[in-house]
Amino acid sequence: MGPVNMRLVEQARSIFAELGYTVEGNGPEFRAERAWKVVHVNTIIERGQLPPSSTDDFHCFVAQPEDADALEDRLTSVDPDYEWAIIVVDGDDYQVERAPPGPRVSA
């Protein structure tokens, strides 16, 4: 397992709590739940290992700016079966770098 950045873990937990999610679990991987939606949150990913695919899962990866591009490249190349997003935390600020696709609209 890669090094655990506890500040990043606490920031990730805080972000989801502020968004109205109930946060469950300790450590660099935890679960955030709001209404019907459950998000599996990962703040570190060991090189080459991503969470297993599951069609009903939502995964959010929380990364620092210097790790975000490589993480997105890895996820894009693996193309897991679950929806995924990346939140980039820079100091006390964060932004959604990549969000799951929205609902499809047909004309």
Query: What residues does each domain of the chain span?
Result: 6-98
Q: Quick one: which of 56, 57, 51, 53 has its CA closest to 71? A: 51
Q: Are 88 and 68 in contact (CB under 8 A)?
A: yes
Residue with the larger pLDDT of the pair 12 and 97: 12
> Residue 12's pLDDT is what?
94
- The continuous run of DSSP H or E covering 8 comes out as helix 6-18
Take residue 93 and report the two structure tokens written for it.
């600020």
Distance, CA of 5 to CA of 47 (rounded, Å)? 16
pLDDT in tens, 7-22: 889 999 999 999 999 9
Instruction: Enter the tokens of residue 89.
Output: 């935390």
Tokens in use for 100?
């799951």
Q: pLDDT grade, residue 102 (50/70/90)?
A: low
pLDDT band at 45 (very low <50, low <70, confident <90, very high): low
Q: Which fold is adopted by the domain 6-98?
A: Trna Endonuclease; Chain: A, domain 1 (3.40.1350)
In this prediction the pTM is 0.82
Q: Name the average pLDDT for the chain.
A: 82
